[in-house]
Structure 1
Amino acid sequence: MENHAVRALLRLYQKMMTSPTLLHSPNRTTRFSGSEEVSNKTVIKSHSTQNREKSAGEGTTGDNKDDKCSMCLSNFTKKKQLKCKHEFCEQCLQNAVKHGGPFCPICKNVFGVMKGNQPDGKMTWNKCPLSLPGFPGCGHIFITYNIPSGKQTENHPKPGQHYGGTVRHAYLPDNKEGNEVLLLLKKAFDQKLIFTVGASRTTGADNMVTWNDIHHKTSMSGGPECYGYPDENYLSRVKEELKAKGIQ
């Protein structure tokens, strides 16, 4: 009886130890999941730490770069910041303005008042009832530029030499946008940007008063090929040309 009882007890124990319920008990699962969770947290924490260290390193490099002038590539001397937020040494900026005008050397934004070398003269205009092709229902603005002959100054290509003057006419539609362009052209004229002294593009003659890259309509008709109307994009184009010179 005793041996039979022992054998029965051993079989019961073996059956319990090999039971699927025991092998997949909640306690076992919890312990395994807990270990995996701890491991994952360790990896995530390590990865985050590395990212922070990397970002800190990149930030340091960027700061060092920002502390140098973009022109001379040296540490700033009397740092100057433009309205476009770009920064330069005071002397570097002065040299850039001297050779290229008041433009940001990086983004080309105008940060000052541009002055050209246009000789002294007059700009006048009057309004006429006749409509321009492409602008029905409104008259037109008739502009006259009068630049007398004179002697070149140090701002011109050949100081001391004579230059030939000119009288030029231009046309704008007498509508809202045309009058806006008129005021912009007047501002550009006052800043001596409409004309310059050089070789005439039409005759080839040197030492003449010539247009200075702000396009005008010098004919009422004939289209763009004849510097006239209709030309539906002219007003927007000339405003862009004026904006590039800081006139807006």
Structure 2
Amino acid sequence: MSNIDSISQDDGIGDCTICADDNVKLKKLLCCGFLICEACAGKHFASNSKCPSCLKKAVVLVDGNQPRSSKMEYQVDSSPLPGYSSFGTIVIDYFFPDGIQEAEHPNPGKPYTGTMRRAYLPNNPEGRDVLDLLEKAFNKRLLFTIGTSHTTGQTDCVVWNDVHHKTSRTGGPTSYGYPDSDYLRRVKDELAAKGIK
């Protein structure tokens, strides 16, 4: 068995070790048998990849807490990105309508503000590999969460969840753009930390 295990989906009814609620639907951490309810699992694993009990083994949550009502689309255009002059560009669009927070979010039952985000990858073999990984992470609800925007200070809105994207074609790393020769490796490392390989 690898040193990164998944959480089995529905492990029954019992007491959550974190919040002590009883009769809640539990998920069991396979690395050490630690029991945690879905709400606490969503909150804990939104910002931490270690088991809250043994702290030694990385645990991958089957699903994150990204809002369920969302869509990811991409297209390819022929214009190159700085540093990738021989390749076109993959343009990724993420769509999140406004909604109501669920149990795993910071303020369950309260409205949240949706968003639309655009990101860019080079249309080369490594860029297409990263696109596949991003799609896997999106489908596991790991790329976004609900929180406070670092740029605007707005609360209860859809925000990035620690997987960096290039949201500008140009400007280099300080402007979230290209050229950035190390970006594709870094983003694969960030995705691997969330169990996406």
What range describes the TM-score normalised by the shorter chain of this pair? 0.7 to 0.9
Q: Determine which structure has more spread, i.e. the larger CA radius of gyration.
A: 1
Q: Is 1:239 aligned to residue 188 of structure 2? A: yes
Deviation for aligned residue 1:200? 1.0
Count of residue correspondences = 161
Identity of aligned residues (%): 49
Which runs of structure 2 are paired with 1:46-195 in the superposition (5 Å)?
Answer: 88=32, 90=33, 93-95=34-36, 100-101=44-45, 103=50, 105-110=54-59, 112-119=60-67, 120-195=69-144
Q: Which amino acid in structure 2 is aligned with residue 182 of structure 1?
A: L
Tell me, in whole angstroms, the C-alpha distance in 2 between the residues paired with 1:150 and 1:122. Answer: 14
Greater length-normalized contact order (CA 8 Å, ≥ 6 residues apart): 2
- Determine if contact 1:114/1:245 at 8 Å carries over to the other structure: no
Give the TM-score, by structure 1 length.
0.60
Equivalent in the alignment of 1:74: none
SS at structure 2 position matched to 1:209: strand
Equivalent in the alignment of 1:230: 179
Deviation for aligned residue 1:192? 0.6
Stretches of structure 1 that go unaligned for 5 or more consecutive residues are: 1-79
Quickly say closer, same or farther: Cα 1:150–1:230, change in 2 above 3 A.
same
Equivalent in the alignment of 2:168: 219
Q: Which amino acid in structure 2 is aligned with residue 94 of structure 1?
A: L
- Determine if contact 2:73/2:92 at 8 Å carries over to the other structure: yes
SS at structure 1 position matched to 2:138: helix
Stretches of structure 2 that go unaligned for 5 or more consecutive residues are: 1-27
Which runs of structure 2 are paired with 1:196-215 in the superposition (5 Å)?
Answer: 196-215=145-164
Question: Could you report, residue by residue, the CA deviation over 1:33-92 in whole angstroms, capped at 9, with x for unpaired residues?
Answer: xxxxxxxxxxxxxxxxxxxxxxxxxxxxxxxxxxxxxxxxxxxxxxx996xxxx63x3xx
- Determine if contact 2:29/2:35 at 8 Å carries over to the other structure: no
Deviation for aligned residue 1:154? 1.0
Q: Which amino acid in structure 2 is aligned with residue 221 of structure 1?
A: T
Deviation for aligned residue 1:94? 2.2
Displaced runs of 4+ in structure 1, greater than 6 A? none
- Determine if contact 1:149/1:163 at 8 Å carries over to the other structure: yes
Q: Which amino acid in structure 1 is aligned with residue 65 of structure 2?
A: N
Quickly say closer, same or farther: Cα 1:81–1:232, change in 2 above 3 A.
same
SS at structure 2 position matched to 1:183: helix
Q: 1 or 2, which has the higher strand percentage?
A: 2
RMSD, aligned α-carbons: 2.2
Deviation for aligned residue 1:227? 0.1
Deviation for aligned residue 1:103? 4.0
- Determine if contact 2:66/2:146 at 8 Å carries over to the other structure: yes
Tell me, in whole angstroms, the C-alpha distance in 1 between the residues paired with 2:87 and 2:187. Answer: 20
